[in-house]
Chains A and B, each alone.
Chain A
Amino acid sequence: MLLVILEHENGQLVEAAREALTFGRVLAEKMGEDLEAALIGRDDDDLVEAAGQYGAETVHTATHDLLTDYGPDAYGSVIAQMVESLDPDAVLSCGSDRGNEFMANAAARLDAPFVANCTDANPGDTWEMTRVQWGGSLLEDATLTADVPLLTCGLHAVAAEIGDEEDADAEEFDVDLDESVTITMVKDRVVQEAGVTLPTAPVVVGGGRGVGSEDGFGQLEELAALLGGRVGCSRAVTNLGWRPHADQVGQTGTRIAPEIYIASGISGAIQHWVGAMASKHILAINTDKEANMVTKADWAVIGDLHEVIPAIIAEVQSRKG
């Protein structure tokens, strides 16, 4: 059996968990095994049903008085117990911040190897995987020798797709936890902005060194607001202190996946590109027609962004009336 650990937030499966189930469906087939899933800290029918839509036959639910919130030790401890008593042939989760964290925690408890951010996995006595290095700029073919392979699939390595709909059975899993797992639990949450955020925005208006100054981002803000989107930026910009790091797109920033990424004054270095490549469409605005961002884009405008962006704003305003 392949066990997929589901990440959830606010009573919903996160997109990355849906991707993991999709990745898991293919992997379970290669293994010739059933696909099962695990929910930690919740046992809602909706979540069980959602997992079933992606092909999970059984969903093991672990609830406990101490499982009040997310915490790597709480999750890691439950997963380690599941490995011991459910005897899965492999365990998979998503390569999100949390997914990689709780899988590594479980691996440390089990003293077992863990392979993060796979884009492909082929079972066998020795498993063969392809995994993400350099945030996706490079791939590594690796082998894994383990009693129970533990792995995550890279973010956006596959697109989430419903399939082989199953009427998943929920099965309660008895966990044994003590207070120590609460040490690393979330103690508080602070919401800084409601509404569209960078990872989920349908439109991202990105600015790089070519924007020229902190104030130069005013025009990008205006365009983003008109399109119901968000401003993103390159690392050159965060290093210059023009924008907060939370706006950075790329290997050490955020991975975006908007309907369209409007990248202005950004050269398209590989570390930036890997954060932007899941965008459905890309439009580059650059003075240099040879820039990487331009050659990799679907559309481009060659010119000074300080002339192009105001003109786009005026055009959008006139069409919206």
Chain B
Amino acid sequence: MKILCCVKRVPAPGAKINVTADGQDVDAAHLGFTTSPHEECAVEGAVQLIEEHGGEVTVLTLGTGDAEEQLRYAVSVGATHGVLVEADTNQWDPQRTAQAITAAIRELEGDEPFDLIMFGNESADAGGFQVGIRTAMALGRPIVQGIKGVEISDDTITARREIDGGFEVYELPRPAVLGIKEGLNLPRYPTMKGRLASKKVELNSITASAAEGGQARVKLHRPEETVSETVILGTGAEAAAAVVDVLDELGVL
């Protein structure tokens, strides 16, 4: 079985996210980078599937050369191959990103399609909610989003999507595409052996080219901060009566 995971490199901010002076990007000067959480679960899910059924996992990212870090990380947790689709930034608009990824997938596949392609439901940063859908549809394959459970059999992929109070079940013919959400699994940490493999792996590189889409960034900014005059109801257990007064006032008792 051949599985492809498309992942995005994003900064890992803490309590606040700062923006660069020109408003074009997150100020990552003092930040580490990570794989967008939904996609981290997609990679783990793919690795679990090949552990069960045999096969290979390829991880693809579109972005600058730094994104190799995320490809190598994916190999350290069990992916087989890494492909960098080289672009001048990690911030192409969604149509352009999808077009470039579609072309890269066609090149990688030749006439042997991946049995399953997994995207994150949305990237942690830009959150466009569409690159996986556009790519799948350009490839003529079915896609469903929001997936937190995957099983694969000879000709079918069964996928579960969480809804309020339960889940929906989808059954797609192979080959298919899924938009994965965090919660599919708990991603493993790299092993020593994995780390070694990730250092040695030869990454494949494809030059991306695609036309700009209709959406263009002007600038990023922080939303207005909630300023709250926090009322301290007390310290420790003795605050309980004041807390319950508040609950009573709100009518939730």
Contact = CB atoms under 8 A, between A and B. Distances in A.
A139 B220 contact: yes
B122 to A, nearest CB: 8
Contact of B233 (A183, A277, A296, A301): A301
B157 to A, nearest CB: 11
B17 A283 contact: no
Contact of A186 (B14, B168, B231): B168
A204 B45 CA distance: 30
A134 B233 contact: no
A32 interface: no
Contact of B219 (A141, A187, A277, A298): A141
Contact of A259 (B126, B186, B220, B250): B250
Contact of B166 (A139, A191, A227, A314): A191
Given A113-B214, A301-B234, A189 B253 contact: no
A298 B228 CA distance: 6
A12 interface: no
Given A252-B37, A277-B226, A303-B236, A184 B170 contact: yes
A133 B38 contact: no
Contacts of B16: 270
B152 interface: no
B237 A311 contact: yes
B174 to A, nearest CB: 12
A305 to B, nearest CB: 10
A73 B142 contact: yes
Contacts of B143: 72, 184
Contacts of A202: 252
B243 A245 contact: no
Contacts of B170: 184-187
Contacts of B172: 183-184
Contacts of A251: 124
Interface residues of B, number: 83
A268 B228 CA distance: 14
Interface in A154-197: 183-195, 197
A260 B38 CA distance: 28
A297 B169 contact: no
Counting chain A residues whose Cβ lies within 8 A of the other chain, the interface size class is 35 or more
Contacts of A312: 240, 243-244
A246 B183 contact: yes
A213 interface: no
B165 A197 contact: yes
A306 B86 CA distance: 51
B53 interface: no
Contacts of A152: 129
27 contacts: A97-B161, A132-B127, A138-B222, A143-B218, A144-B215, A144-B216, A184-B143, A189-B168, A190-B168, A192-B165, A193-B166, A197-B164, A200-B164, A246-B183, A253-B182, A259-B251, A268-B15, A270-B17, A283-B246, A289-B232, A295-B228, A299-B246, A300-B230, A304-B236, A308-B243, A310-B237, A320-B253
Interface of B: 13-17, 19, 26, 37-38, 93-95, 121-122, 124-130, 133-134, 137-138, 142-146, 148, 161-173, 179, 181-183, 186, 213-223, 226, 228, 230-241, 243-244, 246-248, 250-253
Interface of A: 70, 72-73, 95, 97, 100-101, 104-105, 107-109, 112-117, 128, 132-146, 152, 183-195, 197-200, 202-203, 227-229, 238-239, 241, 244-246, 248, 251-253, 259-260, 267-270, 277, 281, 283-284, 289, 292, 294-304, 307-308, 310-312, 314-316, 319-320
